[in-house]
Amino acid sequence: MTIKPTADWTKHPRNPLIGGDYGTCFDLAVLKDGDKIRMWFSWRPKKSIALTESEDGVHWSEPVIVLEPNGDTGWEDDLNRPVVVKRDDGYHMWYTGQFKDPEGSCIGYATSEDGVRWTRSGDRPVLAPELAWEKVAVMCPHVMWDESLRLYRMWYSGGEQYEPNAIGYATSADGIHWDKRPDNPIFANDPGNPWEQHKTTACQVVPYQDGFAMFYVGFHDEHFAQIGLAWSSDGIGDWTRHPGNPILSPDRGMWDEDADYKPFALYDESSDRWLLWYNGRRAAVEQIGLAVKQGYDLGFE
C-alpha cells in the first residue's frame, strides 16, 4: 500500500447542520436510500434515536424519534450511537443502550420495514462487555453485511463509559449472536502520535480499493478529539494510518472548537466527492456538521 498526500477535507459553510434548538445531537449513521439521504442520530435531550432526511446532505427535515428508551430492560435508559444496514428483507439497526447504577453500555438490535417503525430483537442486548479490555461498555457499533462471507461484520468500541478506549471486531450470521475476535482489540491508540495518544474509538469502515478504509476518532486527551483515516486489506489487521492524520480537527472559536467526533462518510458518485458527517463539540453542546472532499481518492493506492 502506497500512501500519498490527500486533498483537504473542507467543512461546510452552513455548519452546524443539525443541533441548535434541538439541543445536543451527536453520533450518527447515514444511508443513501433511493433519492434521499437518511440519517439516524443520537438526540440527547430525548435520550432517543431520531431520523431526519435530506436530498442534498445539507438541508435536513424535522427529526422524528424512531426508537425510545425502555426503562424496563435495565440497560436501555438512554439510547444512542446507531448504525443502520438496509437489505432486501428491510432495515437492520444496532444501537447503544446506556444505563446507570452500575454504569455501563451494551449494544442492541432492531429491525424495520421502513426505517421508521422498529421492533427490538428482545429484552437482552446482543453484545455486552465481557472481556477485560471492554471494561464497562461496548458501544458505537458499525456494521456491514458481507455477502461473500454471508456474515454481518461489526466494528465496535469498548472500554470506559464516558469515552471508550479501543476498537474490537465481531461477526454474526443473524445479527443477534455475535462471535468476538479473540485477539481484540483490533485497533488501539498509537502513543507515538500525540493527536491519538490517549484513545481511538467510534469508527466507520467502508470498502475501499481492494481493502477497507476506516474513519475513526483519536483522542489527544479525554476531552480533545479529532478524526483520522486508516486502511487495511481485510478490515481486521495491519492497519496503515494516513500520515495526513488527523484529517479533520476542531476550529478555535467555532461550534466544534473542543472536539470533532464520530465520522460517517459516503462517496457520492454523481458529484465525485466524499461527504463526511460528524458531530462537533463546544463546551457541553454537540451538533452535527458536514465536511467534503472532492474526488474518490483518499490518498491510498
pLDDT in tens, 64-123: 999 999 999 999 999 999 999 999 999 999 999 999 989 999 999 999 999 999 999 999
Residue 7 has a pLDDT of 52
In this structure, are strands 36-43 and 48-54 parallel, antiparallel, or unpaired? antiparallel
CA distance 290 to 276: 6
Residue 301: per-residue pLDDT: 63
Region 256-274: what's the mean pLDDT?
97
* Strand pairing category for 25-33 and 36-43: antiparallel
Cell triple for 66: 424512531
Task: Check residue 300 and give its pLDDT.
Answer: 79
pLDDT band of residue 251 (cuts 50, 70, 90) is very high
Please state whether beta strands 118-120 and 36-43 pair in parallel, antiparallel, or not at all (unpaired): unpaired
d(CA 105, CA 94): 13
pLDDT at position 3: 42
Class of domain 25-294: mainly beta
Nearest in space to 248 (alpha carbons), one of 232, 225, 269: 225
Q: What is the pTM of this model?
A: 0.96
Distance in angstroms (rounded) separating the CA atoms of residues 38 and 112: 14
Residue with cell 469498548: 158
Dig out the grid coordinates for 16 from the structure: 452546524
Contact 11, 289 (CB under 8 A): yes
Confidence bin at 2 (pLDDT 50/70/90): very low
Side chain identity, residue 287: Q
Mean pLDDT score, 158-182 = 97
Place of cell 427490538: 120
Residue 288, pLDDT above cutoff 60: yes
| 126-140 average pLDDT score | 98
3-class DSSP string for 55-78: CCCCCECCCEEEECCECCCCCECE
Does 262 score more than 50 pLDDT? Answer: yes
Q: Round the average pLDDT of the chain to a whole number and report it.
A: 96
The dihedral sign for the CA sequence 228, 184, 76, 84: positive
DSSP character at residue 3: B
